[in-house]
Amino acid sequence: MTNQKPKKPLNKYIRLTGVGLQMGITIYLFVYLGKWLDVKYPNENEIFTIIFTLLGIVVSFYSLLRQVKSINK
């Protein structure tokens, strides 16, 4: 039974400040994985880089939408 102050909800804008950085890091990591796979398993069209870049974009937008939905609640 301690006197704990209730946590103040974060401002909506403050919660979204790191979204750009998070999206950039996510996409970068997927591109890096794709390039690594293209070096490990060589092919003509660098297909792993293309696939993982697109996958990174999809994952980052999905994460963005989830964060926006949670803020609007």
Q: State residue 60's pLDDT score.
A: 95
Q: Tell me the H-state helices in the chain.
A: 12-15, 19-40, 47-72
pLDDT, mean of residues 42-54: 94
Confidence category of residue 47, pLDDT binned at 50, 70, 90: very high
Mean pLDDT of 38-52: 94
Residue 3 or residue 51, greater confidence: 51
Task: Count Cβ atoms within 10 A of the Cβ of residue 33 and give its class: 0-12 exposed, 13-18 middle, 19 or more buried.
Answer: middle
Percent above pLDDT 90 for the chain? 56
Does 10 score more than 70 pLDDT? no
